Amino acid sequence: MKQKLRDDIRECWHCSRETKEKFVPGRTKIQYAGAEYDEKEIIAMLDAILDGWFGVGKFSHRFENQFSGFLGAQESILVNSGSSANLIAVSALMSHQFPGQLQRGDEIISPAVTFPTTFNPLIQNGLRPVLLDVNPSTYNIDAEDLEKAVSPRTRGIMIPHTLGNPNEMDTIMDFARDHDLVVVEDSCDALGSTYKGKHVGTFGDAGTFSFYVAHQMTLGEGGAVVTGDPDLEPILRSIRDWGRACVCPVCRVSLDPDYRCPLRFQFETDTLPDDYDKRYVYTNIGYNLKPVEFQAAMGLEQLKKLPRFIAARKSNFSRLFEFFEGYSDYFTLPEALPGSDPAWFSFVLTVRENAPFSRKDIVMWLEQHNIETRLLFAGNIIRQPAYEHVDCRVVGELENSDRIMRNAFFIGVYPGLTDEHLAYIMDTVRTFMHKATGEGGAP
């Protein structure tokens, strides 16, 4: 029966591909991102559903092991989103079980150009953000600016690799060691990006990743935290799983219903009865941020395709960069640091202040021609209404962050873009630039 279902899925998938509408320039929408999958992911999810266990189990355990292997990380903890990954990473550093426990009111350095759920866990845990301006070409902080931000209250750095572009991690980690700071790398945009041959997300105390549909691979939703700290790993699992004391990577009961855990009634505490079930002992104030098994099953298939996805993103980015170099008088182009190899999330452009057109002009032109655009997340986050009264310390004037908020946008580089898509994007931009500047086409 299972094999027949698998065969039927393959047949349905191939039929759906055959009937898929062809690209029509100007009529077919070019998305900035999209899920790339085939019948293998669908069959894997079906197998997980038919396996009969929906909670974290063997598929999640396999995914965590393989994801760690891809990154060269010691431990991975699978969660239900990248935002949840950021939340438990910061929350774990606040745990009484963490040897370097952060305290409410401690300062954490982070860039002003960011995503809300990079910033929010700091506020939610009672920490005080210290905001630095970003470099106008890398969209990350300049590592040498960290010295301007540090104070006696500074305890950590929350550092996103914006749009997949790696930060200067050797300098940042040296600074963190010199000042005894914890480091969380938000690598949600940056799966597959490396700095000096090492995957981003594996430099700091914890690294976070997202498997939302727009990212380098997808589980539909989903995320992960990686760490090399043996003290941090069980705390991360505990906070993901309601805060409970039982933090085995996978519960044997999910694999074998007849299994009897020898440690189940052996947790010692001064405040509970001696026979209290360890599965109902809570050592942290946690959440329920677990994924489901069929997400992990999809992820196992996506991991097989990930090198191809990353290569396609790099290729698409390179082609767009070569094209937009012809218009560098009008746009600030994205720039990667020496030694970095980004697996780009998107292609970002900032309209120069002296350009004869605005961001709104070119964004509206692209959208009217069915080319999706997005702004650079929250821009300067302290300008957002939700953060008007948040207690934070701002270093400098944040001029670049404000300029990015006013003038930056991005288009896609995801693997679903074809040669036809890229050619149409370039033709559409070329036409706009001719109208806006009176100049001929770009080389």
CATH 3.40.640.10 range(s) for the chain read 39-294
What 3-state DSSP class applies to 42?
helix
CB-based contacts of 215, cutoff 8 Å, min separation 6? 33, 82, 188, 189, 191, 209, 345
Which one-letter amino acid corresponds to residue 158? M
What span, in angstroms and rounded, lies between the C-alpha atoms of 379 and 403?
A: 9
Q: Are 72 and 199 in contact (CB under 8 A)?
A: yes
Give the model's pLDDT for residue 404.
Answer: 99
pLDDT for position 389: 93
Amino acid at 17: R
CATH of domain 39-294: 3.40.640.10
Which residues have CB under 8 Å from 130's CB, separation 6+? 107, 108, 109, 110, 149, 151, 154, 392, 393, 394, 395
pTM of the complete model? 0.95
Residue 442 has a pLDDT of 47
Mark the ranges of the chain whose per-residue pLDDT is less than 50. 442-443
The Cα diameter of the chain in Å comes to: 82
Rounded-to-integer distance, Cα 76 and Cα 207, Å = 9
Which pLDDT does position 322 carry in this prediction?
Answer: 99
Q: Dihedral through CA 438, CA 136, CA 362, CA 348, nearest 10?
A: 120
What's the angle, vertex CA 163, arms to CA 158 and CA 166, rounded to 5?
60
CB contact at 8 A, 395 and 133 = yes
Which part of the chain is CATH 3.90.1150.10? 306-437
Other Cβ atoms within 10 Å of 102 Cβ, number = 22
Backbone angles phi, psi at 336, to 5 degrees: -100, 145
Q: Are 408 and 376 spatial neighbours (Cβ–Cβ below 8 Å)?
A: yes
CA gap 101, 94 in Å, rounded? 5
What residues act catalytically? 215
Q: Which fold would CATH assign to domain 306-437?
A: Aspartate Aminotransferase, domain 1 (3.90.1150)
- Nearest alpha-carbon partner for 172 in 194, 204, 196: 204
Strand pairing class (194-195; 408-412)? unpaired
